[in-house]
Amino acid sequence: MDDRQLPMIVLAWDGTGDFGPETPGTQTAGWQEALDACVQEKRDLYVKGGWGGREPIYHVSETIRIPATQDFRIEGGVYVVNWTGPGEKDLILVDSGMDCHYTFGILVYGGKGAALRVRPENPVPIDNFAVFVDSDIRASSIADPHPFRRGKREGGAGVIFDTDKASIVHSDFSFTAVLNFAACIVTPDSGSSFAHNRVACGHLHTNADSSTLLSVGKRSLQNAFDVRIGVDQGAAGVTGVRLFGAENTLELTTRGGFPAGNHLVFEEPASGNQVNLIRCGAELDPFAYLTDRARTPTNQLTWTGSPAPIRTMSATAGTFVYTQRLYPAVVRIVGGEVTGVELVRGSERVAYGPAKERELTLSVGDEVRITSTTAPTVQVIPLKMR
């Protein structure tokens, strides 16, 4: 079989392929020229890797641009793409894709853009509209050039999902590891939707001070995230996950190292998200792991290990309102001169008469209104649901 009959273009670091670092005039170690040939000849791309990791390196000084396309595959071995270009540019920029399947090796990037940016902008050639859909992207480690140097990074991201021009929907994204950026993985706060996707990272970690591992932006809806997070070398001020979006699920495994309340932060717009927390240790005080700033009490938390501790608070005389957040619980009202108790669920209300002691089972978002002349004590007994 001669080269013209092969189903793929071969990009090789060692001169054994159709394109590579020796390609005349290349600034992308042959990547862009190989992609252009794939478009011209209607073939897939195979990128050669190699045993040991010291030699299969593609040094790149200009952004690799994967054009808008359908039914296209990038496959290959394990290799390194090393960014040597200006700080403001991205390393790899992925345009619209439909039924596309991309596998990358190790990406090393020290700029202030993104090592990998998915930004659908131009129309796909058959269906003729801009979108990234029904596709998947996989990569090995994505790291800055100084993986063992602790310190603050002044910008730059591992992966940015950019929906400024068009949506990213119904696609899968999987990364072996992403580490040591100011922001490791970022989904959009504005633009079109980032919805119905799956994002997984087996080792999302950092030694970058004041960094964020995963930011789930306001335009992120009904996605499934599965990440395992941790802090290296005692890096300070690291936030694990910041959740702004709605109705996402998050499987969050943490090995620790974060300040109190910084494994997970529900930001003000977050609503209807479901988080399962898997963490070190047998005891769990949720508020040692998370910060809840959400406006609406609709985010839900489950966790491994033992039930969370019982909380006791003093109500105030007059009308005292308690809202159950994050997990269901039994609320026990004891003592005081209670004249009425009311359970509020949305627009529905259930009134209870006065009693010396009363227990109510509350779902997430339920509200209890206690009226009294002398304030009672309120105990919140969390229910473990998983």
> Sheet harboring 329-334: ordered strands across?
311-314, 377-382, 329-334, 357-362
Tokens of 25: 């005039």
Which residue among 285, 303, 321 closes a domain? 303
**Is 297 among the domain residues?**
yes
Does 221 reside within a domain? yes
Q: pLDDT (tens digit, 9 = 90+) per residue, 163-188?
A: 999 999 999 999 999 999 999 999 99
Q: Are residues 212 and 355 in the same domain?
A: no
Same domain, 112 and 224: yes
How confident is the model over 329-346, as pLDDT tens digits?
999 999 999 999 999 999
pLDDT, greater one: 226 or 306? 226
pTM for the whole structure: 0.95
Tell me, yes or no, whether 332 lies in a domain: yes
Q: Could you tell me the CA-to-CA distances from 288 to 6, 25, 232, 254, 268 in Å, in that order?
A: 57, 55, 19, 13, 19
- Residue 200, number of CB atoms within 10 A of its CB: 17
pLDDT at 52: 85
What percent of the chain stands above pLDDT 90? Answer: 91
CATH number at residue 355: 2.60.120
pLDDT at 281 over 70: no
How many Å apart are CA 27 and CA 33, to the nearest integer? Answer: 9
**Hey, what's the torsion of the CAs at 172, 173, 176, 180, to 10 degrees?**
-160
Task: Give the mean pLDDT of 115-142.
Answer: 98
Average pLDDT over residues 131-137: 98
Mean pLDDT of 121-127: 97
**Domain stop point among 303, 323, 351:** 303
pLDDT beyond 80 at 282: no
Q: Is residue 65 part of a domain?
A: no
- For residue 385, the model assigns a pLDDT of 84
Q: Are residues 207 and 281 in the same domain?
A: yes
Q: Are 198 and 259 found together in one domain?
A: yes
Residue 364 lies in a domain: yes
| Residue 75 predicted with pLDDT over 90 | yes
On whether both 158 and 95 belong to a single domain, the answer is: yes
Residues 132 and 94 sit within 8 Å (Cβ to Cβ): yes
Which band of pLDDT confidence, cut at 50, 70 and 90, is reported for residue 3?
A: low
* Token pair 């306001």: residue: 218
Question: Would 335 be classed as within a structural domain?
Answer: yes
Q: How many domains does the chain have?
A: 2
Note whether 93 and 237 are same-domain residues.
yes
Please say if the pLDDT value at position 197 is more than 90.
Answer: yes
Look at residues 192, 196, 65 and name the one whose alpha carbon lies nearest to residue 133: 196
Q: Residue 351: is its pLDDT beyond 90? A: yes
Q: Is residue 50 a part of any domain in this protein?
A: no
Given 255, 286, 303, which residue is the final one in a domain? 303
pLDDT recorded at residue 5: 63
Q: What is the pLDDT of residues 231-268, one digit of tens each?
A: 999 999 999 999 999 999 999 999 999 999 999 999 99
Mean pLDDT of the chain: 95
pLDDT value at residue 1: 44
363 and 289 both lie in a single domain:
no
Q: Domain for residue 47, yes or no?
A: no
Q: In what order do the strands lie in the sheet with 337-345?
A: 318-323, 367-374, 337-345, 348-352
250 and 128 in a single domain? The answer is yes
Same domain assignment for residues 237 and 285: yes
State yes or no: pLDDT of 141 exceeds 50: yes
- Do 229 and 367 fall into the same domain? no
Q: Which residue has the tokens 């010396």?
A: 356
Annotate the chain with three-state secondary structure. CCHHHCCEEEECCCCCCCECCCCCCCCCCCHHHHHHHHHHHCCEEEECCCCCCCCCEEEECCCEEECCEECCEEEECCCEEEECCCCCCCCEEECCEECCEEEECEEECCCCCEEEEECCCCCCCCCCCCCEECCEEEECCEECCCCCCCCCCCCCEEEEECCCCCCEECCEEEEEEEECCCEEEECCCCCCCEECCEEEEEEEEECCCCCEEEEECCCEECCEEEEEEEECCCCCCCEEEEECCECCEEEEEECCCCCCCCCEEECCCCECCEEEEEECCCCCCHHHHEEECCCCCCCEEEECCCCCCCEEEECCCEEEEEECCECCEEEEEECCEEEEEEEEECCEEEEECCCCEEEEEECCCCEEEEEEEECCEEEEEECCCC
CA 199 to CA 202: how far, in whole Å? Answer: 10
Say if residue 185 is in the same domain as residue 110.
yes
Same domain, 315 and 295: no
Q: Which domain holds residue 143?
A: 86-303
Q: In whole angstroms, what is the distance from residue 372 CA to residue 319 CA? A: 7
Q: Is the pLDDT of residue 208 over 90?
A: yes
